[in-house]
Copies of this chain bind each other. A is one copy, B any other.
Amino acid sequence: MRDAFDDQLSEMFADLAGIAGMVEVAIERATVSLMDGDASLAEAVISADAEIDAVREKVEDDAFALLSLQQPVAGDLRTVVAGLRMVTELERMGDLAVHVAKIARLRVPETAVPEDARATISRMADVARDMVQRVVQIIMDRDVEAAIALGRDDEEMDQLRRASFTELLSDSWQHGVEAAVDIALLGRYYERLADHAVSVASRVVFAVTGEFPSRDRSALPA
């Protein structure tokens, strides 16, 4: 019984890591489609989102079955419930990558990001993708140390967001309102991706230790 339960938990975490991996790919592709004005890559991100939703449903169904049939308590219960909440956030992260792809698609054959905004947006995308990549491993290993470290590294995204606003609100901005609105929304999407990555990592810490990293759940950008 115990072994069966552990196997099922491991499968749930493998599925969660699998979704995180799909999100990472989605961010990567959405960003390339954005920078290159590549419509078919944007379409690929949009249609691949259904796969994320499918694994999400599997995780939810499995978690309910675990709760119903095994009636876990204490740490086991915490872990299953954390898994249910992580899957919601991971699915939401997939949606955010789709939002990026949709902005890309809207501007094809042009690109939404003008030359002098590319460095900042590109770096935001890298930071988001890197964080999600780390989340894949954090979920696989249920690695509390790495999860706490991820939470500490969230500052660069905030700085990039501020830098991006400074760029598009400066007197030298010559790309008009439409590009500025695109950039502001793109910045928001990448920032939310990073927020959710931190939040998923925090839930791994909670699942393993019973405490949130900072003992402050209000800091969770759920």
Total contacting residues, chain A, CB less than 8 A: 36
Is A50 a contact of B218 with CB atoms below 8 Å? yes
Within 8 Å CB of A181, what residues of B? 165, 168-169, 180-181, 184
Q: Are A64 and B85 in contact (CB under 8 A)?
A: no
Chain multiplicity (copies): 2
Q: Is A48 an interface residue (CB 8 A)?
A: no
Give the distance to chain B from A165, nearest Cβ to Cβ, in Å: 8
Any chain B CB within 8 A of the CB of A84? yes
Residues of A35-85 at the interface with B, using a CB-CB cut-off of 8 Å, are 50, 53, 56-57, 60, 64, 67-68, 71, 73-74, 77-78, 81, 84-85
Interface pair A77/B85, CB less than 8 Å apart: no
Inter-chain contact B184/A173, CB cutoff 8 Å: no
How far, in whole Å, are A142 and B67 apart by their CA atoms in the complex?
23
Within 8 Å by CB of A180, from B57, B71, B88, B177, lies: B177
Apart from A53-B217, A60-B217, A85-B85, list 12 A-B contacts with CB within 8 A.
A50-B218, A56-B217, A56-B218, A57-B217, A64-B78, A67-B81, A68-B73, A81-B81, A168-B177, A169-B177, A169-B181, A181-B181
